[in-house]
Amino acid sequence: MCGIVGVFSNAPVNQLLYDAMLLLQHRGQDAAGIVTMLERKFFMHKAKGMVRDVFRTRNMRALPGTTGLGQVRYPTAGNAYSEEEAQPFYVNAPFGIVLVHNGNLTNAHALRSELFSTDHRHTNTESDSEVLLNVLAHEIERATRGVPLHIQDIFTAVEAVHRRLRGSYAVISMIAGHGLLVFRDPYGIRPLCLGRSADGGVMVASESVALEGSGFTFERDVLPGEAVFIDLQGQVHARQCAPDASLHPCIFEFVYLARPDSTLDGISVYQARLNLGETLAQRVVSTVPPSEIDVIVPIPESSRPSATQLAHLLGVPYREGFVKNRYVGRTFIMPGQAVRKKSVRQKLNVIASEFKDRNVLLVDDSIVRGTTSREIVQMARDAGARKVYMASAAPPVRFPNVYGIDMPTKDELVAHGRTIEEIRQIIGCDALIYQDVDAMKRAVMKAAPKTPGAVPLGGFEASCFDGVYVTGDIDTEAISRMNGNRPRIEETDIDASRLTLPNHSE
Ligand SMILES: O=P(O)(O)OC[C@H]1O[C@H](OP(=O)(O)OP(=O)(O)O)[C@H](O)[C@@H]1O
Ligand SMILES: NC(=O)CC[C@H](N)C(=O)O
Ligand SMILES: [Mg+2]
């Protein structure tokens, strides 16, 4: 996952983009970048780091223009520590195009050689997003019938792009002197929505929270396979560009990735998490009688809605037993296992009185590598807990994800090839309770809108739980090829500033 945003306005957009990216910071903490456009000229600034570290006043002043786009990156392909691979990406022909991408192409490898041998285009990084931009540029070139570019030609180009790309992609691009082009893969795996401001501005973003927090009113989600073009008068043109599009949003967005105050494809993330707590309650009672649980403690941050609902239904007190240091980022999306482990202890500290001589049920939204749960269970024991039970609002994560969540190696997953009892022993808890896959899907589905006109859900992209890959082109060979191109991390590369208080000075 990454966070992406694009905006057309009647006033300078640099601050708007910055603010929207802060609202999407939970989706990517490795790099950030903005491009603005003034007449035909692009202005870009991108670097490794969080938004508030990457953009200083002098950088903001150098981003003029009333149309622009930005991204916060969480790498899933290429080199996590290369500044070159921070987004946006730029190509000068045709017209000049910049692009930001959330997702992961599963055929980037084949496309890269095709681009070179057939399209005669050069890519200079390992990033799949650079490949995507070059495919788009090539198809726009082929579809173009002159200057200025016809909107119908842009849509023809997106049709061709859909035919060539596999995998997940929510894309915002900007064509110099023309406008913003936005599209979503035919399964709508990664989210993308559109809103407007009272003064005629248009914003597109990964999550509705970015629109609302920037003074825009949510209008609709971009449909799977659809392309939307926002011209320089702020007019919105749209066309369905994939013949068999069908909505299969990534279920992990609802479990962990997205902010709870966002609504994705009509589904409230918060409501989905409450529902997950409800179905989890049924599993808990069949394993541990509520009378044997003294207190329910969420593992901050993302598990809170599910834990609240679970405690309410079991009639057991809900207590905040861990306090989060808000200056440490999300540990799951940190590259490198050593830094993740260190961060769990730096991020969470116990309130010992909530654990002493009690039977505690810890609740997390998901257990992926098991790093968080193992540390937390030990911390609860060190604080004097009698029994430590652990519940996960999501089912075991058993399969690699190839659609933009960095869990591509099955060996990294604590649940891969292990029984629940084996996982319990590794985590070190007295009982381990997982949601089941169908219950999870039902719980999130239950939060889907019943309103007429809502886009029907074809299903969920839930491959990391059920091993079913919606794009149908994923086999063991494809997964190991992608592993070869997953973000490379040297522990010595770890950016220590991410574990400390950021410097707010100019
Ligand atoms: O099994 P693991 O590999 O440790 O991954 C799972 C943990 O990572 C996430 O928390 P994170 O700290 O990233 O973010 P949060 O504060 O939003 O919960 C998630 O909520 C789990 O707690
Ligand atoms: N998480 C994402 O959406 C990543 C986008 C792109 N695949 C990259 O690695 O930069
Ligand atoms: Mg967590």
The CATH number that applies at residue 163 is 3.60.20.10
Total domain count for the chain? 2
Q: Using CB atoms within 10 A of its CB, is residue 244 exposed (0-12), middle (13-18) or buried (19+)? A: exposed
Domain contains 238: yes
Q: What is the pLDDT of residue 493?
A: 42
Domain contains 455: no
> Which atom number of ligand 1 is nearest to the Cα of residue 256?
20
Q: Return the number of other C-beta atoms located less than 10 Å from residue 174's C-beta.
A: 28
Q: What is the pLDDT of residue 504?
A: 31
> Which atom number of ligand 2 is nearest to the Cα of residue 87?
10
| 364 is an annotated ligand-binding site residue | yes
| 475 is an annotated ligand-binding site residue | no
- Nearest ligand for residue 341 CA: 1
DSSP 40-102: TEEEEEEEES-HHHH--HHHHHT--SSEEEEEEE--SSS-TT-GGGSS-EEE-SSS-EEEEEE
- Tell me the pairing of strands 41-48 and 31-38: antiparallel
- Separation of CA 364 and ligand 3 centre (Å): 6
Peptide bond into 88 cis (omega under 30): yes
Q: What is the pLDDT of residue 75?
A: 85
Q: Which CATH number covers residue 299?
A: 3.40.50.2020
Within this chain, do residues 233 and 282 fall inside the same structural domain, yes or no?
Answer: no
> Which atom number of ligand 1 is nearest to the Cα of residue 324?
16
Q: What's the ipTM?
A: 0.97
Distance CA 322, CA 300 (A): 7
Domain contains 342: yes
Domain contains 278: yes
Within this chain, do residues 303 and 414 fall inside the same structural domain, yes or no?
Answer: yes
Of 422, 448, 474, which residue is a domain's last? 448
- 2 as an active site residue: the answer is yes
Within this chain, do residues 227 and 280 fall inside the same structural domain, yes or no?
Answer: no
Domain contains 189: yes
Within this chain, do residues 207 and 354 fall inside the same structural domain, yes or no?
Answer: no
Q: Is the CB of 127 under 6 A from ligand 2?
A: yes
* Choice from 81, 83, 129 to test ligand 2 binding pocket (greatest atom count within 8 A of CB): 129
- Separation of CA 304 and ligand 3 centre (Å): 9
- Separation of CA 134 and ligand 2 centre (Å): 16
> Which atom number of ligand 2 is nearest to the Cα of residue 74?
1
Domain contains 120: yes
| 199 is an annotated ligand-binding site residue | no
Q: What is the pLDDT of residue 247?
A: 97
Within this chain, do residues 88 and 198 fall inside the same structural domain, yes or no?
Answer: yes
Q: Is the CB of 224 under 6 A from ligand 1?
A: no
Within this chain, do residues 439 and 365 fall inside the same structural domain, yes or no?
Answer: yes
Q: Is the CB of 305 under 6 A from ligand 1?
A: no
Of 248, 281, 306, which residue is a domain's last? 248
Distance CA 74, CA 94 (A): 28
Within this chain, do residues 236 and 337 fall inside the same structural domain, yes or no?
Answer: no
Q: What is the pLDDT along the chain (506 residues), one digit of tens a residue?
A: 799 999 999 999 999 999 999 999 999 999 999 999 999 999 999 999 999 999 999 999 999 999 999 999 998 877 766 888 999 999 999 999 999 999 999 999 999 999 999 999 999 999 999 999 999 999 999 999 888 899 999 999 999 999 999 999 999 999 999 999 999 999 999 999 999 999 999 999 999 999 999 999 999 999 999 999 999 999 999 999 999 999 999 999 999 999 999 999 999 999 999 999 999 999 999 999 999 999 999 999 999 999 999 999 999 999 999 999 888 777 665 656 666 666 777 889 999 999 999 999 999 999 999 989 999 999 999 999 999 999 999 999 999 999 988 775 888 899 999 999 999 999 999 999 999 999 999 999 999 877 766 778 999 999 999 999 999 878 777 777 777 666 654 433 434 343 333 333 32
Within this chain, do residues 227 and 298 fall inside the same structural domain, yes or no?
Answer: no
Q: Is the CB of 395 under 6 A from ligand 2?
A: no
Within this chain, do residues 244 and 298 fall inside the same structural domain, yes or no?
Answer: no
Q: What is the pLDDT of residue 479?
A: 79
SS3 310: helix
Contact 215, 196 (CB under 8 A): no
Secondary element (H or E) of residue 230: strand 226-231
| Positive or negative: CA dihedral 154, 155, 159, 162 | positive
- Separation of CA 449 and ligand 3 centre (Å): 27
- Nearest ligand for residue 259 CA: 1
Q: Is the CB of 482 under 6 A from ligand 1?
A: no
Within this chain, do residues 399 and 366 fall inside the same structural domain, yes or no?
Answer: yes
- Nearest ligand for residue 131 CA: 2
- Separation of CA 124 and ligand 2 centre (Å): 16
Q: What is the pLDDT of residue 454?
A: 73
Which is catalytic among the residues 2, 250, 429, 464? 2
Of 432, 448, 464, which residue is a domain's last? 448
Distance CA 494, CA 300 (A): 24
Domain contains 465: no
Q: What is the pLDDT of residue 344?
A: 79
Within this chain, do residues 361 and 218 fall inside the same structural domain, yes or no?
Answer: no
Give φ, ψ of 379 to 5 degrees. -65, -40
Q: With CA atoms as reference, report the closest residue to 306 among 257, 255, 374, 249.
A: 255
Within this chain, do residues 102 and 209 fall inside the same structural domain, yes or no?
Answer: yes
Q: What is the pLDDT of residue 499?
A: 35
Distance CA 328, CA 501 (A): 8
Range of the domain at 353: 271-325+333-448
Domain contains 264: no
> Which atom number of ligand 2 is nearest to the Cα of residue 405?
1
- Nearest ligand for residue 80 CA: 2
Q: Is the CB of 371 under 6 A from ligand 1?
A: yes
- Separation of CA 277 and ligand 3 centre (Å): 15
Q: Is the CB of 369 under 6 A from ligand 1?
A: yes
Contact 44, 32 (CB under 8 A): no
Q: Whose CA is nearest to atom 3 of ligand 1?
A: 369
Q: Tell me the β-bridge partners of 238.
A: 228
- Separation of CA 86 and ligand 2 centre (Å): 9
Q: What is the pLDDT of residue 341?
A: 65
Q: With CA atoms as reference, report the closest residue to 105 among 129, 125, 135.
A: 129
Q: Is the CB of 132 under 6 A from ligand 2?
A: no
Helix axes 371-382, 420-427, angle to 10 degrees: 50
